[in-house]
Amino acid sequence: MEKMQVLGLALILLYMVTTPAYCQYYSQTVPYESLQEKTTNLHFFFHDTLSGKNPSAVLVARPNITKDDKSIAPFGSIFAIDDPLTVGPELTSEVIGKAQGLYVSSSQDVPSLVAYFDFGFTSGEFNGSSISVFSRNPIADTERELAVVGGRGKFRMARGFAQLKTYFLDKTTGDAIVEYNVTVIHY
């Protein structure tokens, strides 16, 4: 009986020494090791469809004080998107990823949005990786720029910019096709 207790205690002690203490607060600071950075250019088309039975952009909320405003995105409206990214300007061309996130109509005078997007790629070298965009998007300008503030996977620690050109816009429905040229600096 005593032997069993000693053995039990020994096993508990062994367990305690060999098991990392996951429940402890942990912090370690080391000098920053800068790795070789690369630049990647990406080109694709973004399809933001508000109309039809299967829209890829949906209105989530809008302030009730704009209820008489008949525009598509009155000040303060929030849209959620799951927009396909394609190789060519046609929606039928090959899909290489999806842009998911939100945009908020953020200007009281000219139509302008603030975009909170994650562009996730599902094909080629960057399959499974994504880039994060957080930026003002002055949609009234045909050519504009968005800031790339981060990324995941192969785009970890990314930063850069996206140059946008409106390829198609239906002013009645808000449906848009936008050409993107993204320059990303990443590891």
Per CB under 6 A, residues contacting ligand NAG are 43, 64-65, 122-123, 127-128, 163-165, 179, 181
Q: How far is the CB of 179 from ligand NAG (least distance, A)?
A: 4
Report yes or no: 113 and 103 within 8 Å, Cβ to Cβ.
yes
Q: Which is nearer to ligand NAG, 106 or 181 (CB)?
A: 181
Q: Which is nearer to ligand NAG, 43 or 156 (CB)?
A: 43
Considering only the C-alpha atoms of the chain, give the largest distance between any 2 of them, rounded to a whole number of Å: 85
Distance CA 187, CA 173 (A): 40
Q: Write the single-letter amino acid at 57.
A: A
Q: How far is the CB of 129 from ligand NAG (least distance, A)?
A: 10
Distance CA 49, CA 147 (A): 23
Q: Which is nearer to ligand NAG, 24 or 41 (CB)?
A: 41
Report yes or no: 16 and 135 within 8 Å, Cβ to Cβ.
no
Q: How far is the CB of 17 from ligand NAG (least distance, A)?
A: 38
